[in-house]
Amino acid sequence: MKMMFKLLCILPLLTNSFAAELKIFTEDSAPFQYKENDKIKGMASDIVVELMKRADVKYTHEMAPWSRAFNTAKENVNNCVYSTTETEERMPHFKWIGPLVSNDWVIMVRNDSDIKATDLSQIKGKPIGGYIGDALAEYLKSNGHTVDEAANDTQNAKKLSFGRIDIWATSSAVGPYLAKMNNITNLKELFTIKKTVMSIACHKDTDGATVKKLQDTLKKMIDDGTVEKIKSNYK
């Protein structure tokens, strides 16, 4: 009888632990994620929304500045953040669900720039535009480059166009998109720094069964063409 009473007391706790809602954060970084009419949309966001629906996982969805979104997920159980670039430094600190999208790192300059380079070593010592908390900016700094950090990447597109910076480190999808959205036509890609992918990063103590369920569901979405179909809506 006592054993039955203990089981009845423990069962709700076990049920609640597996039924916990995920708090999912993201940043404003079109075309991957952005707000439109108070709704979070974008290439990666649409994949995440469909993923949660198919896996039947309850969640809340919030947009915040990147540093806050990233640190909240890193420090709080059942919190996740996307679109998070997978790097060697970050991998041990999270449980990962991905990839959502590929997102190569590139260097952009103005069309009239006289900078000629094919790799980072050739622009060592020159200030490079990046933004606070971004994996690419952190990568550049860790490799001895000087990064002129803005609050977000939209500011960098404008700064480069207006001549306030001469080099911008961004991504192959975000850079051209931001330029187009801000009617900036005087920029070009100089070279690719590194090929990367972005995923959902969840606190390292987030329930493993939930993470596995989401990863398995995402793989099915990739295999059945759902992910590619969503991406095609933003090309």
What pLDDT is attached to residue 20? 66
Please say whether the beta carbons of 222 and 215 come within 8 A: no
Tokens of 17: 């632990």
CB neighbour class for 215 (10 Å; exposed up to 12, middle 13-18, buried from 19): middle
Q: Is the domain of 118 the same as that of 84?
A: no
Name the region of 209 (left: φ>0; alpha: ψ -120 to 50; beta: rest): alpha
What's the predicted TM-score (pTM) here? 0.76
Q: What is the CATH number of the domain that holds 43?
A: 3.40.190.10
Q: Is the domain of 155 the same as that of 48?
A: no
Q: Is the domain of 98 the same as that of 201?
A: yes
Residues of the chain with pLDDT under 70: 1-20
**In angstroms, what is the C-alpha Rg of the chain?**
20
**Full domain range(s) for residue 31:** 17-102+197-232
Tokens of 53: 């629906």
Asked if omega into 127 is within 30° of 0 (cis), the reply is no
5 in any annotated domain: no
> For 86, which DSSP code?
P
What is the distance between the alpha carbons of residues 125 and 140, in angstroms, rounded to a whole number? 11
What is the distance between the alpha carbons of residues 90 and 68, in angstroms, rounded to a whole number? 16
Q: Is the domain of 179 the same as that of 217?
A: no
117 in any annotated domain: yes
121 in any annotated domain: yes
Tell me the one-letter amino acid at 115.
I
What is the distance between the alpha carbons of residues 10 and 167, in angstroms, rounded to a whole number? 58
Residue with tokens 């054993």: 3
Q: Is the domain of 189 the same as that of 203?
A: no
Q: Is the domain of 183 the same as that of 212?
A: no
CB neighbour class for 177 (10 Å; exposed up to 12, middle 13-18, buried from 19): buried
CA 52 to mean position of chain CA atoms: 17
Q: Is the domain of 204 the same as that of 174?
A: no
CA 164 to mean position of chain CA atoms: 26
Q: Is the domain of 45 the same as that of 114?
A: no
Q: Is the domain of 174 the same as that of 95?
A: no
- List of residues 6+ apart from 233 with CB closer than 8 A: 43, 46
